[in-house]
Amino acid sequence: FGLKDVFFNDFLVGAAVNEQLISGKDSLALKLVASEYNSISPENVMKWMYIHPEPSLFNFEKADSYIDLGVKNNLYTLGHTLVWHSQAPDYLNKVNDSAALARYLENHITTLVTRYKGRIAAWDVVNEALNEDGSLRQSVFLKYLGEDYIKMAFELAEKADPGAHLIYNDYNLWKPEKRMGVVRLVKQLQDNGIKIDAVGLQGHWNLSEPSLADIEQSIVTFNELGLKVHFSELDISVLPNPWDLVGADISQNFDENSYMNPYPKSIPDSVQMALANRYQDIFRLFLKHRDKIDRVTFWGISDQGSWLNNWPIKGRVNYPLLFDRHFNPKMAYDSIVALK
Ligand code: XIL
């Protein structure tokens, strides 16, 4: 009995799984995958630089193990991600003609989506294509294929597996200008008769941002386009964003005994409680819109494995998830279960 059962009638509850877990070396995390979640996302193993490191070389091994994990546990299994400017191999970054890039793109998408057809329920087809102002982000894809690269990607994915759910995924989609960027992008696909099923809102949030009203506006707006909403990478940092500390020297900014120290041993109860309240508010909102939300996925399982321990400051210890470093449920876990 776990989160997947608590929210069974509302939405899927997922977690991103890392290489350690996939390879079976993290037995506690593996147990939680089976008991708490009904969906998984691959934190890194399907990214272009790992799975397709040379133009004619694919490394399927880790991704295959990831898929096996999903099949064995009967999980709604995500593919993440087909087209992204980040974690891309050198040959892609160095491309300088459109024909070559179009071939890479076609080969990449067709090979992956065909291989996992019927086993990947949903693909993050394009990840983070937008700037904060809603315009298209500069990338090799935009530079050599123009904005059509987005259409091409969705078309190729649909052709390879017409049954897969196709998602546009990005962060900060609660920001009005970026939200409108998604609306434009989706309408362009729809006007061209190209299939897109959902928007993925990453959800790398903190204790104060974004507001519930901004999240809600995005859920409603994307739903009005006829799309489902996925919260695809949820975690809530309890530490300040370094770029919010204007002019701060990050390495000097943390008091040795403060929980904001790069190497804190624990966080005070007051912060645990703030995190619990924040998660509860957010899940109350999710429940209100459960008819529009397909899935809520956490970006990791326990605080131990969270990427936020290393980003944006390497080695800073964070506490963003529902399970602590010993895989025990935190107050935040109880606070969302208490909603039901
Ligand atoms: C992150 C992983 O969690 C890290 O392990 C990796 O070093 C960098 O990428 N948006 C995304 C995810 O779409 O793929 C990113 O995952 C986090 C931000």
Catalytic residue among 36, 43, 158, 233: 233
- Residue whose Cα lies nearest atom 4 of ligand 1: it is 307
Q: Which domains does the chain have, with CATH numbers?
A: 3-240+273-337 (3.20.20.80)
Q: CB of 327 closer than 6 A to ligand 1?
A: no
Token output for 97: 């003609």
ipTM score above 0.85: yes
pLDDT tier for residue 242 given thresholds of 50, 70 and 90: low
DSSP code of residue 213: H
CA 193 / ligand 1 centre spacing (Å): 31
- Residue whose Cα lies nearest atom 15 of ligand 1: it is 43
Mean per-residue pLDDT over the chain, rounded: 94
Name the residue of 299, 304, 306, 310 whose CB sits within 8 Å of the most ligand 1 atoms, as the mutation to test its pocket: 299
Q: CB of 50 closer than 6 A to ligand 1?
A: no
* Vertex 18 angle, CA 16 and 23, to 5°: 130
pLDDT greater than 70 at residue 305: yes
| Closest-lying ligand 1 atom to the alpha carbon of residue 299 | 3
CA distance 31 to 287: 26
Residue 132 known to be catalytic: no
Q: CB of 127 closer than 6 A to ligand 1?
A: yes
pLDDT tier for residue 225 given thresholds of 50, 70 and 90: very high
Instruction: Determine the straight-line distance between the first and last CA of the chain, rounded to whole angstroms.
Output: 14
CA 340 / ligand 1 centre spacing (Å): 31
Axis crossing angle, helix 148-160 with helix 98-115, rounded to the nearest 10? 30
pLDDT digits (tens, 9 = 90+) for 24-64: 999 999 999 999 999 999 999 999 999 999 999 999 999 99
Report the candidate in 265, 257, 278, 262 with the shortest Cα–Cα distance to residue 320. Answer: 278
Instruction: Find the radius of gyration of the CA atoms of the chain.
Output: 20
Q: CB of 309 closer than 6 A to ligand 1?
A: no
Q: CB of 206 closer than 6 A to ligand 1?
A: no
| Closest-lying ligand 1 atom to the alpha carbon of residue 80 | 14
How far is CA 116 from its chain centroid?
19
CA distance 119 to 111: 14
pLDDT digits (tens, 9 = 90+) for 55-111: 999 999 999 999 999 999 999 999 999 999 999 999 999 999 999 999 999 999 999
Q: CB of 44 closer than 6 A to ligand 1?
A: yes
pLDDT for the residue 262: 53
Q: CB of 202 closer than 6 A to ligand 1?
A: yes
- Residue whose Cα lies nearest atom 12 of ligand 1: it is 43
CA 43 / ligand 1 centre spacing (Å): 6
pTM of the entire predicted model: 0.95
DSSP code of residue 209: -
CA distance 183 to 222: 7
CA distance 70 to 73: 5
Question: Do 157 and 151 touch, CB atoms closer than 8 A?
Answer: no
pLDDT digits (tens, 9 = 90+) for 99-152: 999 999 999 999 999 999 999 999 999 999 999 999 999 999 999 999 999 999
- Residue whose Cα lies nearest atom 7 of ligand 1: it is 307
CA 235 / ligand 1 centre spacing (Å): 12
CA distance 274 to 214: 20
Q: CB of 172 closer than 6 A to ligand 1?
A: no
CA separation (Å) from 152 to 155, 165, 179?
5, 16, 22
